Amino acid sequence: MLKIFRRQLAAVSSPQVLKEFKNQELIRTKGYVNGNWIESSERKTFSVNNPARATKKEDKIADVYAFDTKEFGDAIEAAEVAFHSFKKTTGRYRADLLQKLYSLMIKNEDDLAKLIVLENGKSYADALGEVRYAASFFQWFAEEAPRVDGDVISSANGANRIITLKQPIGVCGLLTPWNFPAAMITRKLGAAIAVGCTSVIKPASETPLSALSIAHLAEEAGIPPGVVNVLPANKTAEVGQFICEHPLVKKVSFTGSTNVGKLLMKQSSTTLKKLTFELGGNAPFIVFEDADIDKAVQGAITAKFRSSGQTCVCANRIFVHETIYDEFASKFVQKVKETTQLGNGLQESITHGPLIHERSLAKVQQHIKDAVEKGAKVLLGGNHRPDIGEFFHDLTILSDCTQEMDVAHEETFGPVAPLFKFSSEEEVLKLANNTEVGLAGYFYSPDISKVFRVAEELNVGMVGVNTGGISEAALPFGGVKESGFGREGSKYGLADYLTIKSLVIGVE
């Protein structure tokens, strides 16, 4: 029945899809502040558009209220008031709230996945995977919340005792991107709630509906007023600066580009905020001569083409040893042909959707053009697909790529897989590390000595060894160099929402 329903949905407009939701309460266009659903003071709105629709006239999903800095200031003040009581709640109480949020997300996973498909464009299967991934952060941090413990430290002075307390830092500004409109919120919000922080969330202007649906579920779960506040805005730079410079905001967590991260860091310096930044990547994917080629091909498809290449941990440069280069390339092309299909993500057979907007499409086209002009060969794809929709582009594989090409040094953030040939471990490590960023990296080899040697030499924050999929709630997610700092998820994910207070107690 669900498969039939999804085929029907693909043929109708975005508003009609929303009308078919089982839980209509998930569809919100107002902001959520201090437990209330509010309109913007000047009643200004902006359109949320479906990137998979065929024409600009058909793509509007909804009009969402646009909030300005004054209203963000009100939300921050509400969060500050709520913090003074929420920080005193027990870890077990907060764990119960997070567990309710997890259960509500799973209960509503079908509607939440369709909402992601509509505003982001990814396939239904991909979106459903994101919803479950997003929910898992609430579950994970529910399990961590009761175990936020300090230490007793031996003092050099026998008359003293040293005790540390871990305390919530305060109001958190959470700035989230469009490519994971649910998971990038829950990964931050779950940790904040677990330790007793309150939050003001500014979702990406492309995908605010998923954020507002999570706000509704937070309300339904019984999260106290002021603890979770969500305000859509289309004046991204202005609002981001306001949050970073506001004295009541004690921590900012941002996922996005390196250039924006640098700007936000500069703005946050005015109040010396605590920061967690997960920024751009340029992930290498290395296939050594002893690799299982079939497994490496499958891993490359996962690591490169997930969400049409629009993730920060996507493989951006695929290095293949010269002795297996031709075999890998041939199998890679064939497997992509056999297992992928472009189209509207609500259709059952679709595996990959459109790019998010015109700027992303333009960058993909420019990278392909530059590579071809410098000698690359198009093994698969290479074309814009307006026959499907305005922002669709073929999944593309390029061979004979060199270091002179833009794809060797710039993150494409799109469905372009450039293949580079290498001859030695030393050479490929030098090429892989030749970038200012270092978020994720991947390589394939069964040699256990090589596994540890290469993993330790790759200058990235996360390494996938013989796998193309690394993301889960248990993983400390984050990078090095200009990919940012701090870790999200895992047992380490609470640290950036806490301060450590030391007590020195004289006992004699």
Q: Render pLDDT for 119-141 as a digit per residue (tens, 0 to 9).
A: 999 999 999 999 999 999 999 99
pLDDT band at 54, cuts 50/70/90? low
Which three-class secondary structure string do you get for 398-443? EECCCCCCHHHCCCCCCCEEEEEEECCHHHHHHHHCCCCEECEEEE
CA atoms within 13 A on the CB side of 428: 28
Angle (CA) 283 289 290, round 5°? 105
Structure confidence at residue 16 (pLDDT): 87
Give the SS3 label for residue 149: coil
CA atoms within 13 A on the CB side of 68: 6
- Report the pLDDT averaged over residues 268-294: 97
> Whole-prediction pTM value?
0.95
Q: Are 442 and 299 in contact (CB under 8 A)?
A: yes
Residue from 80, 130, 144, 278 carrying the catalytic annotation: 278
The Cα–Cα gap between 288 and 451 comes to 11
Q: Are 462 and 432 in contact (CB under 8 A)?
A: no
pLDDT, tens only, 202-254? 999 999 999 999 999 999 999 999 999 999 999 999 999 999 999 999 999 99
Structure confidence at residue 219 (pLDDT): 98
Residue from 312, 314, 482, 488 carrying the catalytic annotation: 312
Structure confidence at residue 12 (pLDDT): 58
**Annotation says 197 is catalytic:** no
**Annotation says 278 is catalytic:** yes
User: Is residue 6 pLDDT above 50, yes or no?
Assistant: no
The encoded tokens of residue 174 equal: 């959470």
The Cα–Cα gap between 503 and 165 comes to 8
User: Is residue 4 pLDDT above 80, yes or no?
Assistant: no
Structure confidence at residue 249 (pLDDT): 98
Q: b vs e for 422-444, b when ≥16 Cβ sit within 10 Å of the residue's Cβ?
A: beebeebbebbeebebbbbbbbb
The Cα–Cα gap between 508 and 478 comes to 45
pLDDT, tens only, 420-441? 999 999 999 999 999 999 999 9
Domains contained in the chain, CATH given: 14-279+487-499 (3.40.605.10), 283-472 (3.40.309.10)
pLDDT, tens only, 12-53? 588 889 999 999 999 999 999 999 999 998 899 999 999 997
**Mean pLDDT taken over the chain:** 95
Give the SS3 label for residue 361: helix
DSSP-assigned states of every residue in 79-130: HHHHHHHHTTS-HHHHHHHHHHHHHHHHHTHHHHHHHHHHHH---HHHHHHH
pLDDT, tens only, 356-384? 999 999 999 999 999 999 999 999 999 99
Q: Which helix (H) or strand (E) holds 49?
A: strand 45-49
The Cα–Cα gap between 151 and 382 comes to 57
